[in-house]
């Protein structure tokens, strides 16, 4: 398992395939703040709730200068289905190799129904305009997390 990021760290660069098949890079968002959130799997109840919460608050976040990118180990085809079925407006990217997930400390041992398993650790990293970590939230809950981020960021 990789190290968890802390405020002040440089956010690891990434370029991953998006739901539409085009590559999305963190560098594409230079000069804007970015909320990068990591979730286990598209089209599951918790991940759907979280993605819908981000979509519902996207205008508010964008007005405050934040872009939102959701990262999961899913392939672009599944992400496109997820986006279309749930009318999601957030940018979704896939990391099947889990390299970005690991670089952000969002993949490793976690508890699942009382067992220790390897998997995606639901996490949210807020990156500032200069590519530095502003906030790092790990082991977050799908429900209510977006409201907490908005409150913590003072939006």
Residues belonging to the active site: 47
Q: Output the six-digit token pair for 123.
A: 């996490």
Please check whether residue 13 is in contact with residue 28, taking contact to mean a CB–CB distance below 8 angstroms.
no
Short-list 65, 82, 48, 52, CA closest to 153 = 65
Q: How many Cα neighbours within 13 Å face the side chain of 104? A: 33
**Residue 31: phi, psi to the nearest 5?**
90, -10
Q: Which among 153, 88, 99 has a CA at the least distance from the CA of 126?
A: 153
């Amino acid at each position: 398992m990789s190290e968890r990021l802390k405020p002040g760290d440089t956010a690891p660069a990434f370029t991953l395939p998006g739901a539409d098949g085009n590559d999305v890079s963190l560098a594409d968002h230079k000069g804007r703040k970015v909320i990068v959130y990591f979730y286990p799997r598209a089209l599951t109840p918790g991940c759907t709730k979280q993605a819908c919460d981000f979509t519902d608050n996207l205008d508010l976040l964008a007005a405050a200068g934040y872009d939102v990118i959701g990262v999961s180990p899913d392939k672009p085809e599944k992400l496109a289905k997820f986006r279309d079925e749930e009318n999601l407006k957030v940018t979704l990217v896939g990391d099947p190799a889990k390299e970005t997930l690991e670089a952000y400390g969002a993949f490793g041992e976690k508890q699942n129904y009382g067992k220790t398993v390897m998997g995606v650790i639901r996490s949210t990293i807020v990156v500032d305009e200069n590519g530095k970590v502003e906030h790092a939230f790990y082991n977050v809950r799908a429900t209510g997390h977006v409201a907490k981020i908005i409150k913590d960021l003072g939006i």
